[in-house]
Amino acid sequence: MAAVAANPAAAAEDPEPQREAVPDLESQRRQIKNGESGQERPLLAGESWFLVEQHWYKQWEVYVQGGDQDSSTFPGCINNAKLFEDQVNWCLKKGLVEGEDYVLLPAAGWHCLVSWYGLEYGQPPIERKVIELRGIYKVEVYPVELLLVRPSDTSTPHTAQFSQTDSIDLVLRTAREQFLVSPQEETRLWVRNAQGSFNRVYDTRVTVLDAALKSGQLVVMETRSKDGTWPSAQAHTMNKASKEDEDFQGQPGICGLTNLGNTCFMNSALQCLSNVPQLTEYFLKNRYLEELNFCNPLGMKGEIAEAYADLVKQAWSGHHRSIVPQMFKTKVGHFASQFLGYQQHDSQELLSFLLDGLHEDLNRVKKKEYVELCDAAGRPDQEVAQEAWQNHKRRNDSVIVDTFHGLFKSTLVCPDCGNVSVTFDPFCYLSVPLPVSHKRVMEVFFISMDPRRKPEQHRLVVPKKGKISDLCVALAKHTGVSPERMMVADVFSHRFYKIYQLEESLTTILDRDDIFVYEVSGRSAVCETMREDVILPIYLRERAQSRDYNSSYYGLILFGHPLLVSVPRDRLSWDSLYHILLYRLSRYVTKPSSDDEDDGDEKDMEDKDNIPKPGHVAGGSSQDPGPEHAGPSSGVAGGSRVPVDNLPGPSHWPQRARRKHLFTLQTVNSNGTSDRTNFSEDTHAQPYIALDWEPEMKKRYYNEVEAEGYVKHDCVGYVLKKAPVRLRECIELFTTMETLEKENPWFCPSCKQHQLATKKLDLWKLPETLIIHLKRFSYSKFSREKLDTLVEFPIRDLDFSEFVIKPQNESAPELYKYDLIAVSNHYGGLRDGHYTTFACNKDSGQWHYFDDSSVSPVTENQIESKAAYVLFYQRQDVARRRQTQPGLSDPPAPSACGSPPNSEFMDVN
C-alpha cells in the first residue's frame, strides 16, 4: 500500500450520496455493527479499514438508536477534521488512540456510511491496511512515511506512505512513477542511515519492515548512466573520463579492461564470459534482477552477480574504450581470499569461481532440499540420467545451469569383485588432458677425467619416468664414455646439493637444476688385495677476512665448480692427493715456477710449525669457518663405484710434506663449510675434501675465466619437436578408461574395501555453451611444467556426435555441433606469464584480441596458437535460435569473421 499525500482532495468521496437507498436506522445499526461489513468482523491481512472520528461515530450511534430519522440528533456528513494536523497536507495527528479519537470500520461498512451520509467536502478518506506481524493482525494506522529524492536534488523530497508489509519494490516503483523514469532505465535505491551515510538496498523483494525503514528516512533513487556506470560508483573508481571519452561511441562489447597489477588472468576470464551471447543478453535485459538470490548460504548475497552485471553493462554500453574493474576485483577478493592482493593466478580457476558464484547468486531454488544420490543398480541409462538431471535441477536452477551445465556418465569397475558402479554427474566445463610425450629433454654438463678438456654442455633426450642410469646411457652415446664410469650430481651454490644413485628416478630432477655428470675411473675391487680407486668429492674455498669480532677467526667462501676425483687407494696420502688435484686443475691453475718453489721452501721452513695436519686449517681454528647454506647432505659412499669399508680415515693418512703448496687440503662435511676434526666416531664415512686458497695465491695462480669456460656439444642445438595434437585427441583421452591412482582409491560397496578401480567418463548431455579447459599445467611431487604443445581446434563445426553416448536425434545434427566464440590464452611459463583473449563479438561477428586495456581486430587464422588455454564453444542450434528471436540485431553474415584490410589487424603470434 502506498498512500501519496500530494493531492488528497482528489481522493475525497462524493459528498452528495443518493439518499433514496438509505435503509432504516435499525438496519443501519445491524449492518455497521454486526453484519459482514460490520466492525466486529475479524481482521484479514491485506484488507482495507477506515478511520472514523470518534465524536461523529458516537453521534451516529445515538441517532440510529433513537429510531427517529427526523431527529435533531442526525450526525450529518462524516467529518474527520479533528484527526488531521491541518487541512492542507491532511497529515494524521500523532498519538491518536483507538476508542478515544477514532473507530475503525471495514471497507464495506465505510462505503455504506459514506453512501448514506456523505463525506465532508475536500476531506480524503483515511484508509489503512491490515498487516500481520509475527502472527498478530492489526490495522496499521501510522504507515511509514519515506522521503523520496533524486541524487541531483536531495533538498526537495517527495513524501510517500508505505505499509510495513509493502515490498521495497513498491517503494522503487512509486519513486519511478514520481520522477517519471522510463521503463528502459535501470534504477536502485539508497537509504540514509542515522550516521548520515547511505546504505544500498539490495533485495527489493523484502518488506519495508525487514529493510528496517523508518518514517522520515531519506530514500535516494539512482539511475544508471547511459555508459553503464552508476553515479555513486564513479567516486570510488579510477574512471576519470575526459570530455572526448564521454562523447565516445563505439561498438558495444569492444572494450578493454585495465590491468590493476597482475590481473590479466581476471581480465581474460571476464572477456571470455562477456562474449557468451545468451549470458550477456540475460544481464543487459535485466532478467537477473528478478532472480537475485539474497538468502542462499552458498552464495555471495547477490553481490558477485551485481558486480558482474555492472561490468557487462559498462563494456556493452559502447561508451568506453576500456574500463577499470576495481569494484569487481574487490568483491572477488572479499568472497574468495585466494584472489586477494595482486599475485598472478590461473584464469581457469577464476572462471570456475565466477561461474559458481554467479550460479549461487542467481539460483532460482531458494531452499535446497536434500537429494539422495542413487546408483544405477542395473537400471537403464536413460532412466538413471533423467533422474540425476532432475535431482540436480531440484537444487540448482539458474542461468548458469541453463547455459553451461552438461551431464557425463561415470563408470567404475572393481578389479577384485567386478562390481560396476554407474553414476551420472553434472559438469560446468571439461578439463581435458593433452597427449604428452614420454620423452624429456635434459641439459647436463659433462666433466671429463682429462684435465685438458673443458666441461661440455649436452642436451639429452631421456625417458620422462626413467632413471639416472638412463641419463648416463644417453650421455654415453655423445661422449663415448661408458655409463659405468659416470656419476651424476646436482650442483648448487658451489657444492653438491645431491649425488644421485643409478636407480633413482629422473623425476626428482627439476628443469632448473644444474646437473653435472663426472667421469670416474670405474675400477672396483674384486678382492680386498686388488687395487681399487676411491672417489672423493672436492670443493674449492677461498680464505676471506672474517666479519666476526674474534680476530682469530677466518671465513672461508666456496667458489668455482666442485669435482669428483678418482684416487687410487694406494695413493691416499696428502702429498699424493695434492699432486693428483694439481693435475686435475692444470687447465686453469698455473704451477709455481722454480723461483716460487725456492721462496716458498725457505718460508715453509721458517713456519714449519704452522703446516696443517689432517683435520686442521693453517692459521685457523676448528670451529665452523663460515655461514652455512643448508642443503641435503649426501654421502658419497653409496654413489661410489667401490666399497669403502676398508678405507682408512683421514687421521691415518700419511703426513703431508712440508713444502710450498698453492693451496691446503682440509676435510669438511658435505656442505663444504664445517671441519671434520674427529673421525673416530665414524671411521667408514667418506670425507669431502676442500682446497683452501689464500687470496693472493688464488689471484696469482688461479685463472677464473678459464675455470668457468665450457663448450657446447652439437646436440645442444637439438630441439625435441612436438607434433601438434588435435582437440579431438584430447577429448578421446578424456573419455579413455584409466586406473585410479593410489592416492585416490574408490571404496567398493560390494567388497567393502578401497580399490584401484578402472574409471571411464562418457559424455551424455552437452550444454548450450561448452567450456573446454586444456590441462597445460602439470604438477607432480618432483616436477612442475607447462605443456606448450600446439592444439589444433576448429573455429566452426566441432562435432561431438561420436562422443555423446546418449541416443541421438538424427534429425537435429546441430545439437552436437559447436562454433568457437572465445579463447583464453596464456603466454609464458609457470612462474610468470600473461593472459589475453580472443573473442567473437555477438553483434558484428568480428573477432578481436583483448590484451588488458588494448583491443584490436584479428583474423580467424591468428586464433589458433600454442597459447590457447580455455576454449568457449557455442552450440549451433543456440546461435540459430538467437537469430530468429525478435528484438535481436540482424545476424552477421557468414563472412563477418573474415579479413578486413590487413593494415587494421595486429599480429598476435
Residues recognised as catalytic = 264, 834
User: What is the rounded CA–CA span in Å between residue 711 and residue 700?
Assistant: 25
Find the helix packing angle between 54-66 and 25-33, rounded to 10°: 130
Which contiguous run of DSSP H or E holds residue 704?
helix 704-708
18: helix, strand or coil: coil
User: What is the rounded CA–CA span in Å between residue 646 and residue 525?
Assistant: 11
- Using left for φ > 0, alpha for ψ between -120 and 50, and beta otherwise, residue 522 falls in left
What is the end-to-end Cα distance of the chain in Å, rounded? 63
To which residue does cell 576485483 refer? 329
Answer yes or no: are the C-beta atoms of 79 and 53 closer than 8 Å.
yes
Answer yes or no: are the C-beta atoms of 724 and 791 closer than 8 Å.
yes
Q: Which residues contact 451 (CB under 8 A, 6 or more apart)?
A: 583, 584, 585, 586, 587
What does R_g of the chain's alpha carbons equal in angstroms?
A: 43
Answer yes or no: are the C-beta atoms of 415 and 755 closer than 8 Å.
yes
C-alpha cell at position 292: 537475485
Nearest Cα neighbor of 332 from 319, 321, 342, 317 is 342
Spell out the SS3 assignment of 379-398.
CCHHHHHHHHHHHHHHHCCC
Dihedral angle computed from the Cα positions of residues 365, 368, 371 and 373, in that order, rounded to the nearest 10 degrees: 80
User: What is the rounded CA–CA span in Å between residue 468 and residue 487?
Assistant: 9
10: helix, strand or coil: helix
Separation of CA 152 from chain center: 39
42: helix, strand or coil: coil
Answer yes or no: are the C-beta atoms of 440 and 463 closer than 8 Å.
yes
Answer yes or no: are the C-beta atoms of 239 and 324 closer than 8 Å.
yes
Nearest Cα neighbor of 273 from 352, 363, 336, 338 is 352
Answer yes or no: are the C-beta atoms of 20 and 86 closer than 8 Å.
no
Q: Which residues contact 696 (CB under 8 A, 6 or more apart)?
A: none
Answer yes or no: are the C-beta atoms of 771 and 818 closer than 8 Å.
no
- DSSP at 569: G
Q: Which residues contact 669 (CB under 8 A, 6 or more apart)?
A: 633, 676, 688
User: What is the rounded CA–CA span in Å between residue 153 and residue 143?
Assistant: 25
C-beta atoms surrounding 593 within 10 Å = 9
